[in-house]
Amino acid sequence: MAAMARTWTVGVDAGGTWLRVLGIDASGRRRVMRRPAAHDLRAALAATWRRWRLGSARVAHLVVATRGVWTASERRAVVARLRSLARRVTVLSDAEAAHLGALGRRPGLLVLAGTGSIVLGRGPSGRWVRAGGLGPLFGDAGSAFALGRDWLAVAHPARARRLARAPRAVALIAALAPRVLRLARRGPGPARVAVTRGALELALAMCVAARDARLSSPVRVSWAGTLLGNRAYRLAVWRAARHLGLGIAPTAPRESALEAAARLARGRDR
C-alpha cells in the first residue's frame, strides 16, 4: 500500500504525431507511455492515469509541452482543461521544451522539424524569438509534411488530390517524408527537389531567427523532431545555412522535450 501512495511528477510531450508521457515518483521510478497524438489531450492523459492507477492527488506537478500555446491566454486555456489531473499544472510550447532540452538556458537556435517545423531562438538576454511554426497552411517549411506535399504534387498529383480530401491529411502526407528522403538519395528528381527546397527554407528561417535574437556568429544550433533525426537531411540544412552566410556551431541535443518537461515537473532546471 505504501508504494501505491507515492507521489508522482509527470512530463508530457504532445506533438503532432505522437503523445509521450513520462512519470517519475519520489524514489526515481519511471513510467513511460507513447501513443499516437490525441485530439482530446485531457481524455488521453486521464486514460493514462487510469492505466497507471494514479489519482490527481498523487500527481504533484504536471508539465505539458504542446503546440499552439505561445500567449499567456493560450497557456491558461490549456491549464484550465487539465487542472483536474494534478495538484499543479504548467503548460509551455513544445518548441520551448525542445529548446530547453537541447540547449538548456544557453542562447542559440533550436531547429525543430517533425510533422511541422519551427526555428526557435533564445537571445543573450533570454528573449525568445521564432521563425515559422505557423502550421501547414501558412508555415511548416522544411517539415515532414512539406516534403511529402512537395513530392506528391509533382510525382503523384492524382494521389495528392485524394489525400487533400482525406481525414488526417496532414499526418498521412507527413508520413511520406522517410520515403522522400530515401528517393532523394538515389539522384535527381522530384524527391531531391523537395528535400533541397526544405533544407533551404529551414536555413532561411534560421537566418531570420538568429538576426531577431541578436545572436553572434558562430551561432549555437541544436535540433529536435523526427525529420532532423535523419543525419543526411540535417547536414543539408546546415550546409544551406552556411551558404546563406550564417556561421553555426551545431551541438547535439542534451535531452528530449519530454525529458525537459519531466525535469521541470520535478522542479529541476539548469
Range of the domain at 66: 3-97+256-265
Is residue 2 predicted with pLDDT exceeding 80?
Answer: no
Rounded Cα–Cα distance for residues 235 and 239 (Å): 6
Q: For residues 239 and 191, state if they share a domain.
A: yes
Burial class (CB in 10 A: 0-12, 13-18, 19+), 25: middle
Rounded Cα–Cα distance for residues 24 and 47 (Å): 17
Q: For residues 76 and 127, state if they share a domain.
A: no
Is residue 4 predicted with pLDDT exceeding 70?
Answer: no
DSSP for the chain, please give it. -TGGG--EEEEEEE-SSEEEEEEEETT--EEEEEEE--SSHHHHHHHHHHHHT--GGGEEEEEEEESS--SHHHHHHHHHHHGGGSSSEEEEEHHHHHHHHHHTTSSEEEEEESSSEEEEEE-TTS-EEEEE--HHHH--TTSHHHHHHHHHHHH-HHHHHHHHTSTTHHHHHHTTHHHHHHHHHH-SSHHHHHHHHHHHHHHHHHHHHHHHTTPPSSEEEEEESTGGGSHHHHHHHHHHHHHTT--EEE---SS-HHHHHHHHHTT---
Residue that is written with C-alpha cell 513544445 in the block? 94
Is residue 136 predicted with pLDDT exceeding 90?
Answer: no
Q: What is the pLDDT of residues 62-78, one digit of tens each?
A: 999 998 788 899 999 99
Is residue 270 predicted with pLDDT exceeding 70?
Answer: no
Q: For residues 118 and 148, state if they share a domain.
A: yes
Q: What is the pLDDT of residues 168-225, one digit of tens each?
A: 899 899 999 999 999 999 999 999 999 999 999 999 999 999 999 999 999 999 999 8
Whole-model pTM: value is 0.85
Residue that is written with C-alpha cell 523526427 in the block? 226
**Assigned domain for 270 exists:** no
Is residue 5 predicted with pLDDT exceeding 80?
Answer: no
Mean pLDDT of the residues in the chain: 92
Which of the residue ranges 30-34, 67-71, 92-96, 149-153 would you say has the lowest mean pLDDT? 67-71
Q: For residues 140 and 43, state if they share a domain.
A: no
Q: For residues 62 and 121, state if they share a domain.
A: no
Residue that is written with C-alpha cell 487510469 in the block? 50
How many structural domains comprise the chain? 2
CATH number at residue 37: 3.30.420.40
